[in-house]
């Protein structure tokens, strides 16, 4: 289990991560969502030990990673920007990692490389971007980590390899009890994979909950009336993204769904529809999508 407690990181005057506390359990896939610059990569780099936090602690199986960095031998970080040695092949990189990860398994490495169809003797620099990502994934999994940190790691993978990777990760998690933290902008992908989602809204964690809970606690209402209605009709409901199109009104509600349904029912609607929110809609709702006037922008 990875436990992040009150962690803060500033870059000069800019606070990238502010007093964040989260826990990632064993056998869990934890998705990190947030807009660009929200602090996802910074958080991952702190867990990996690349960045040192200004305050707070990160524990892995109850061991402070900054006091005992050797614990990171059970953790593998796949960064967004991959690095391989000049003229390195997968085989030479495997030998390299073998020196630093005591659990590195050469058989697993060879098996995985075969599974992905990668030539272990070929220079990695000659690989395509997607193949390089696969190579890193193969190397990472070959260390038999108890935790994997993936930063935008599915970018550049073709759909087949993407599915293969996802499946492999989920199987690995299930079999080995591994914790996986994935940072991604691909919300559909995260929704498919993750059992837990944290939404970073600039420095802070806006949402940190299980995916199932997220689906049940938020929904979108579409209500049809016989005549135009006023927004005040829904007083008492904490709604967002209110849109009125004549006699049809839609909005999202993220709390007290039963109370909202009761208030809507009292407003004599002709039709009430309730839809679960997709992860993307939740993201947009939390990020409060920026609106603009096109004519003013290009006047």
Partner 1 sequence: MTSVNSSRKQFISMFKESAKKTVVLPILAFLCFIFFSLNNSIWLIDRFNYEISPFFWDELRSGGVTNIAGFCFIAAGLINAMVLFSFAWSKKHSNVIFSLGMKRKDIYFAKILGGILPMTVSILAAALVETICYCSFELPLNLHFIGMATLTALQFLAIYILAFMLGSAVFSNVGNVVEGLVFTAILSVFTIVFRIFLENLFWGATHGASVITVFDLNRANFNWSMPFLAFYDFGDESFMNMYFDTFEPRNLTIFHWSGIICAFVYSVVICLLGYLAFRKRKNEICGTWGRAKVMNEVAGSATAFYAFVLISQYIFYSDHGDAHVSNLIIGLVTFLIVSIIFKLIFGYKRRKEIKNTFKKFPIYVIGFAAFFTVFSSGLFGYSSYIPDTTEIEKVTVASTNHIFMEDSLSTSSEFALFDQRIYHTENSSISLDSSLNYSYYVDEFYPGIIFSSPEEINKVIKIHEKLISDGKIKNSSADSVGASIEITYTLKDGSICRRYYTEATESLFKELLLLDDTKPVEYTLRDYLGNNENFGKFTSYITEDNKIEGYVVDLTTNWFTDTYHDSGLYAFNKASMLVSESYYIFPKDMSKGYWFGNADDELFEAIYTDLLNLTAEQYYHHSAEDEIGVLSFGLSSSMTIEDDGDIIYNYDDLSEGEYASASWNLNSYDIKTVLITKYMTNTIKYLEKHDLMKYFENQFDIDDIKSVKLATPGELYGENYRSKCLPIFYAAYWTGKQMNAYKSMYGDNMNHTFENIENVVTDKAKIQSLLGNSVLYGFCSNKNQIMEITYVDGSTATVLVK
* Among 83, 82, 79, residue whose Cα is nearest residue 41: 79
Q: Least separation, in Å, of the C-beta of 89 and partner 1?
A: 15
Q: Which stretch binds partner 1 (CB under 8 A): 45-53, 161-169, 226-234, 243-251?
A: 45-53
> Which C-beta is closer to partner 1: that of 34 or that of 145?
145
Rounded distance, CA 173 to CA 145, Å?
10
Rounded distance, CA 99 to CA 211, Å?
38
Tell me phi and psi for residue 29, to 5 degrees: -110, 120
> Which C-beta is closer to partner 1: that of 96 or that of 116?
96
To the nearest 10°, report the CA torsion of 77, 78, 80, 82.
Answer: 110
Size of the site for partner 1 (CB under 8 A): 28
Q: Which stretch binds partner 1 (CB under 8 A): 17-25, 42-50, 166-174, 233-241?
A: 42-50
Site string for partner 1, 71-110 (x = CB under 8 A): xxxxxxx-x-xxx------------x-xxxxx--------
Rounded distance, CA 60 to CA 101, Å?
16
Using DSSP, state whether 32 is helix, strand or coil: strand
- Looking from the CA of 56 toward its CB, the CA atoms found within 13 Å total 22
Rounded distance, CA 50 to CA 128, Å?
26
Q: Least separation, in Å, of the C-beta of 244 and partner 1?
A: 47
> Which C-beta is closer to partner 1: that of 145 or that of 269?
145
> Which C-beta is closer to partner 1: that of 88 or that of 215?
88
Q: Is 68 in the site for partner 1 (CB under 8 A)?
A: yes
- Residues forming contacts to partner 1 in the complex (CB under 8 A) are 11-12, 45, 48-52, 68-77, 79, 81-83, 96, 98-102
């Amino acid at each position: 289990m990875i436990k992040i407690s009150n962690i803060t990181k500033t870059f000069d005057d800019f606070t990238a991560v502010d007093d964040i506390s989260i826990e990632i359990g064993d056998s869990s896939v934890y998705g990190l969502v947030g807009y660009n610059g929200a602090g996802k990569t910074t958080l991952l780099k702190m867990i990996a030990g690349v960045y040192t936090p200004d305050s707070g602690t990160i524990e892995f199986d109850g061991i402070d990673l900054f006091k005992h960095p050797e614990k990171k031998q059970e953790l593998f970080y796949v960064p967004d920007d991959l690095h391989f040695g000049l003229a390195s092949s997968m085989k030479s990189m495997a030998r390299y990692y073998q020196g630093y990860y005591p659990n590195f398994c050469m058989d697993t490495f060879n098996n995985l490389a075969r599974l992905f169809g990668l030539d272990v003797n070929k220079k990695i620099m000659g690989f395509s971007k997607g193949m390089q990502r696969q190579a890193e994934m193969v190397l990472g999994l070959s260390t038999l980590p108890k935790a994997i940190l993936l930063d935008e790691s599915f970018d550049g993978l073709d759909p087949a390899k993407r599915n293969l990777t996802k499946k492999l990760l989920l199987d690995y998690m299930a079999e080995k009890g591994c914790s996986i933290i994935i940072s991604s902008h691909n919300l559909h992908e995260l929704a498919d994979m993750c059992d837990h989602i944290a939404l970073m809204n600039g420095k802070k964690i806006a949402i940190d909950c299980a995916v199932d809970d997220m689906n049940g606690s938020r929904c979108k209402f579409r209500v049809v009336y016989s005549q135009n209605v006023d927004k005040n009709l829904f007083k008492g409901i904490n709604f967002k993204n209110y849109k009125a199109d004549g006699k049809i009104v839609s909005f999202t509600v993220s709390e007290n769904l039963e109370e909202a349904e009761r208030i809507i029912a009292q407003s004599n609607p002709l039709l009430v529809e309730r839809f679960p929110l997709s992860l993307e809609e939740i993201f947009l709702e939390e990020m409060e999508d920026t609106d603009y006037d096109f004519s003013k922008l290009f006047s």
